[in-house]
Chain A
């Protein structure tokens, strides 16, 4: 039996060992109120209308967490097991499209529709995973790109206009309690809960024995096979999990953004974004994708209005955001190959050494 003192001590120890996570979590929980307090606006808007700085920043933070979920799922494949996919947007879009189709055309409740979307994602993920047994490396990346583009073309084409709404996409209704326009604060906490669950889940997978095998496969698949691991099973696990998580992100994204399912959700942009976020944050690290998603989305939000004046020339950064992204891409690839978190972690050893030497000197 645990006495209250020991369990309190256990909690204190847990918080001390993972201080960073707990501080981040506390910040995210308090965020709407902190912004509200700082700007003097109400976190719930005014009489149910979504106005004020707190509500605005909640929207941005929700988007950051949605991108973070997407990037975490991409990193699970790309960073941990070493499978490069250029078709991740497929699963993001499926989370939006299948849910929307279920609600709008089949009249199903949103929970059932989401479940169907997740199952579809899992099946498609399994299929792509099985193909990875036969097609490897760049060829696999190309295969996934083609696979995803087929769905993009299908969604965009007028052939299925009655179901998908072709280029315009279609809008679907969600229950009132899930409406981020009216209930932004509730939606914020819903997203936060999902985000924390996803993070903990992926952390649990990576720190489990299966996660160690992921790393072994990333470093040398043949060797992992020789030791006796069924590498296909582990790849299927990683790819399917990543697919389902991407669908969850797609679901949260489409509801936040006007409940409008559009072909662009299946487009290559939502593959490049998580890839870039993973790289900027640090591939193969747990918090890297989250840091990357935050850096890029907050960067875009803040810089959208910014202008640079060079002599008489005014450059509007918002209009050239793609250019900024592309240049950031180049700089990250050349200067910061391990990403923000990766570089920080690699520096830790040398910082420790430096700190130890300092202590030794002081003692002398």
Chain B
């Protein structure tokens, strides 16, 4: 009998996982609720992806796990609604929304650049301290936001007119705005993939993830590329935070909420593997949505939703100790 390669084993694991645990649950609920779960799972998966994408690539390049990524997600939300509300109403909802998204992304990128150059760079020689640094940075950013915007949660802002409607599928009602977020997530998945696979910078990033010393030896400044990747990651996370404001508002805790899921995605996918991040985002999103419906049905408490993704992570780590698609240590 042929032995499976590591890659094939991982795909097999994903397939078995879905076939045994997730799909039966959907069938249990019937097609209507089943498609609701898939929709909700994809939505969550894409949001988690927006936070996790940067973390994963940054980790692959220089072994820095950015614990502050969740703080950027939160910051993006606060910048987003502030800009949206600061603009006069005559401009039109769509344009105000676009301006808010742009502002959140740019501020996120700029702050990412500053932090990388000012705080992370001096610590290149002490990798553990970089992780601790981002840990402390997350606290400082959250407290700064509390100081500026106050501790109270901000209510959801209005959706732009075009997206503020519903559509029907299999007799179930769905929000167009949530579909829009899924699409934003998919566009980002494809865009980052194109960046990685089709551009020269992407080539350097992929080579750097494989062996950054070798790439440096070839005369390429990996550190500089890393700085831009870090900023790109924080920009994407900020955008992610901004797009969730219209349906769940902005709270101080939202960063940590998504950070935990994103860390789990990065770990499950295997740090540094883009393919792994995408697969794990969808897997974690669907798992969580399924668990949410299951616990509503049987436990009247969200216990499964919080625990399921942790369980998945423990399961994956025991099967593949360096994540599904990560490099072998």
Contacts and interface: CB of A to CB of B under 8 A. Distances in A.
A334 B307 contact: no
B128 A329 contact: no
A159 B131 CA distance: 35
Contact of B140 (A138, A154, A326): A326
Contacts of A325: 139
Contact of A139 (B126, B129, B323): B323
Contacts of A322: 139, 142-143
B317 A326 contact: no
Contacts of A84: 128
Nearest to A146: B310
Nearest to B309: A146
A329 B132 contact: yes
A326 B329 CA distance: 32
B133 A330 contact: yes
Interface in B142-199: 142-144, 147
Contacts of B211: none
Contacts of B135: 272, 329
A153 to B, nearest CB: 5
A135 B326 CA distance: 13
Given A142-B267, A147-B314, A153-B303, A326 B136 contact: yes
A149 B260 contact: yes
Nearest to A329: B136
A323 B323 contact: no
Nearest to A330: B136
A301 interface: no
A353 interface: no
A55 to B, nearest CB: 33
A337 B143 contact: no
Nearest to B329: A136
A333 interface: yes
A170 interface: no
A143 interface: yes
Nearest to A323: B143
A333 B267 contact: no
B137 interface: yes
Contacts of A138: 59, 65, 131, 271
Nearest to B140: A326
A150 B311 CA distance: 8
B118 to A, nearest CB: 10
Contacts of B306: 149, 153
A226 interface: no
B258 to A, nearest CB: 15
Interface residues of A, number: 34
B264 A146 contact: yes
Interface in A269-306: 272, 275, 279
B301 A320 contact: no
Contact of B144 (A275, A279, A323): A323
Interface in B290-329: 299, 301, 303, 306-307, 310-311, 313-314, 317-318, 321-323, 329
B317 A143 contact: yes
B301 A142 contact: no
A230 interface: no
A157 interface: yes
B140 A327 contact: yes
A150 B126 CA distance: 31
Interface in A151-186: 153-154, 157-159
Contacts of A272: 135
Given A142-B313, A323-B147, A333 B139 contact: no
Interface string A227-264: 00000000000000000000000000000000000000
A352 interface: no
B123 interface: yes
Nearest to A158: B301
B122 interface: yes
A137 interface: yes
B79 interface: no
Contacts of B314: 143, 146-147
Interface in A95-135: 131, 134-135
A223 B139 CA distance: 37
B51 interface: no
Contacts of A147: 310, 314
Contacts of B114: none
A279 B139 contact: no
Contacts of A150: 307, 310-311
B315 to A, nearest CB: 10
Contacts of A131: 318
Contacts of A134: 317-318, 321
22 contacts: A135-B317, A135-B321, A138-B65, A138-B271, A139-B267, A139-B317, A142-B313, A146-B310, A149-B260, A150-B310, A150-B311, A153-B306, A153-B310, A154-B303, A154-B307, A159-B299, A159-B303, A327-B136, A330-B140, A333-B129, A333-B133, A334-B122
Interface of A: 84, 131, 134-139, 142-143, 145-147, 149-150, 153-154, 157-159, 272, 275, 279, 320, 322-323, 325-327, 329-330, 333-334, 337
Given A131-B318, A323-B144, A330-B119, 13 more contacts: A139-B321, A146-B313, A150-B307, A158-B301, A322-B143, A323-B140, A323-B147, A326-B136, A329-B135, A329-B139, A334-B123, A337-B126, A337-B129
